[in-house]
């Protein structure tokens, strides 16, 4: 009987194609929007939380803790206040656990250049897909998406972005050698370029390489005495680090004062974490934050917004239900003679109700199916494009 009723329902929907399509579109939209919002906020929560949980402690300059976490973990948000490399050395010296420095200030072709150590790859379980990880100054390893989108791989090179074409005080761009590409990790690591921390200092202008002034011609020398040689601005600074010129690269100043934007610490024990966090937070200039807590608070805010949206979605859903009720009422009016005929022939009221119900149910079922497919496709698309 169900098969026969379903046939009648399908025939009705096919015959009244335009009405069916309009109904399906209306219901699909009213199901799709809340479903997609919930899925996408859950996905964001899952992705953000997973990474936050993998990162027990982040240390940076006192200031916006959310900015520090977003910049250090997700490579988003503005560069936080700069901290000194000596902080890293101090913490590393305390044997509190694994300590990873990060310097995230510059970009190359729009993608963040993250200066760090190879220990970062171990923390995030990043594997090299092709080539090798960075070994010497000037080496860069591309995240999977960067490689795919720029069409670059091991053996190519990439030039860092200058601040502004007309800013003569900005640093020279550095041409980095791409030595490897990472496996896809479905994380923010896919969308960045990794290099050694020292290489980012070279980009910063703290370190540089140029021709040996001891061997330089007089035209390149402003003054020369027993202890000092002052070169003229015409001395050529290398913009690419090569095996031939790598030895000429050097850093000026106290390494302890070199910049970092954040430090990730993976303490050996919870006790060590607590002690380190407390000590750091006693400092006037530093903060130690637990990303899980920061992201948790952020997600609470998101879910609060979602709650407000839920009441809005409920109203949309209610209006759709009322709209459907109107359609059904009108349909019953229009199809009064059809019901009468069926009853005269010998159909029960329940069968007629079941036929009409099946028609609406089919519409709702198709709409629900389309919503589920659309949500899944869009969520997959969001994951693919890594919007989150």
Partner 1 sequence: MILIKNLLFRYPGESDFKLEIEELRIEDRQKCCIIGPSGSGKTTLLNIITGIYKPISGTVRINEMEINRKNDREIRNFRIRNIGYIFQDFGLIDYLNVEDNVLLPFYISPGLNVDGKVRKKVDFILRRLDIGNKSRSYIARLSQGEKQRVAIARALVTGPDIVIGDEATGNLDVKTAEVIMNLLMDVVEENKATLLFVTHNVSLMKHFGKVIDINKVNKDRE
253 binds partner 1 (CB under 8 A): no
Residue 155, phi-psi category: left (phi > 0), alpha (psi -120 to 50), beta (remainder): left
5 binds partner 1 (CB under 8 A): yes
Contact 112, 190 (CB under 8 A): no
348 binds partner 1 (CB under 8 A): yes
Which C-beta is closer to partner 1: that of 270 or that of 344?
Answer: 344
Cα–Cα distance for residue pair 265/269, rounded to 1 Å = 11
Cα–Cα distance for residue pair 137/199, rounded to 1 Å = 5
Contact range with partner 1 by CB under 8 A, out of 49-57, 101-109, 285-293, 341-349: 341-349
Which C-beta is closer to partner 1: that of 67 or that of 331?
Answer: 331
11 binds partner 1 (CB under 8 A): yes
Q: Give residues 29-68 in contact with partner 1 (rule: CB under 8 A).
A: none
Which C-beta is closer to partner 1: that of 186 or that of 348?
Answer: 348
Which C-beta is closer to partner 1: that of 219 or that of 344?
Answer: 344
Give me the least distance between CB of 24 and partner 1, in Å please.
17
16 binds partner 1 (CB under 8 A): yes
Cα–Cα distance for residue pair 92/53, rounded to 1 Å = 21
Of residues 47, 352, 356, 363, which one binds partner 1 by CB under 8 A?
A: 352
Cα–Cα distance for residue pair 194/200, rounded to 1 Å = 10
| Structure-block tokens of residue 169 | 């005080």
Bridge partners of residue 249, in order along the sequence: 209
Cα–Cα distance for residue pair 120/100, rounded to 1 Å = 6
21 binds partner 1 (CB under 8 A): no
Contact pattern for partner 1 over residues 300 through 329, marking x by CB under 8 A: ------------------------------
Residue-wise DSSP of 292-361? HHHHHHHHHHHHHHHHHHHHHHHHHHHHHHHHHHHHHHHHHHHTHHHHHHHHHHT--HHHHHHHHHHHHH
Contact range with partner 1 by CB under 8 A, out of 79-87, 253-261, 277-285, 338-346: 338-346
Which C-beta is closer to partner 1: that of 24 or that of 206?
Answer: 24
18 binds partner 1 (CB under 8 A): no
SS3 of 231, please? strand
Of residues 184, 338, 362, 379, which one binds partner 1 by CB under 8 A?
A: 338
Cα–Cα distance for residue pair 224/128, rounded to 1 Å = 48
Question: Whose CA is closest to 119, among 138, 95, 100, 142?
Answer: 100
Contact range with partner 1 by CB under 8 A, out of 56-64, 154-162, 241-249, 345-353: 345-353
List residues binding partner 1 (CB under 8 A): 1, 4-5, 7-8, 11-12, 14-16, 337-338, 341-348, 351-352, 355
């Amino acid at each position: 009987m169900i098969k026969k009723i379903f046939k009648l329902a399908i025939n009705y929907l096919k015959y009244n194609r335009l009405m069916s399509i309009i109904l399906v579109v209306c219901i699909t939209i009213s199901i799709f929007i809340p479903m997609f919002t919930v899925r996408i906020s859950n996905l964001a929560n899952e992705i953000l939380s997973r990474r936050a949980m993998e990162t027990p402690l982040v240390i940076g300059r006192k200031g916006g803790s959310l900015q520090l976490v977003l910049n250090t973990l997700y490579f988003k948000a503005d560069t936080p206040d700069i901290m000194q490399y000596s902080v890293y050395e101090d913490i590393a010296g305390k044997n509190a656990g694994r300590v990873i420095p990060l310097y995230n200030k510059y970009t190359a072709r729009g993608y963040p250049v993250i200066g760090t150590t190879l220990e970062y790859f171990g923390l995030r379980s990043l594997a090299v897909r092709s080539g090798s990880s960075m070994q010497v100054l000037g080496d860069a390893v591309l995240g999977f998406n960067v490689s795919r989108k720029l069409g670059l791989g091991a053996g190519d090179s990439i030039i860092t972005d200058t601040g502004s074409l007309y800013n003569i005080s900005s640093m020279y761009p550095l041409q980095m050698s791409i030595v490897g590409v990472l496996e896809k990790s479905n994380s923010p690591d896919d969308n960045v370029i990794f290099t050694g921390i020292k290489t980012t200092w070279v980009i910063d202008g703290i370190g540089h390489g140029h021709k040996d002034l001891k061997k330089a011609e007089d035209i390149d020398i402003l003054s020369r005495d027993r202890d000092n040689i002052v070169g003229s601005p015409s001395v050529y600074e290398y913009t690419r680090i090569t095996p031939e010129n790598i030895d000429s690269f050097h850093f000026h100043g106290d390494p302890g004062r070199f910049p970092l934007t954040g430090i990730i610490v993976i303490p050996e024990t919870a006790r060590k974490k607590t002690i380190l966090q407390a000590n750091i937070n006693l400092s006037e200039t530093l903060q130690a934050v637990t990303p899980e807590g920061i992201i948790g608070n952020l997600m609470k805010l998101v879910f609060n917004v979602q709650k407000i949206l839920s009441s809005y979605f409920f109203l949309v859903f209610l209006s759709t239900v009322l709209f459907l009720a109107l359609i059904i009422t009108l349909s019953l009016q229009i199809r009064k003679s059809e019901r009468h005929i069926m009853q005269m022939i010998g159909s029960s009221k329940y069968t007629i109700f079941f036929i009409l119900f099946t028609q609406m149910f089919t519409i709702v079922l198709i709409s629900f199916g389309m919503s589920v497919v659309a949500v899944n496709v869009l969520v997959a698309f969001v994951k693919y494009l890594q919007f989150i």
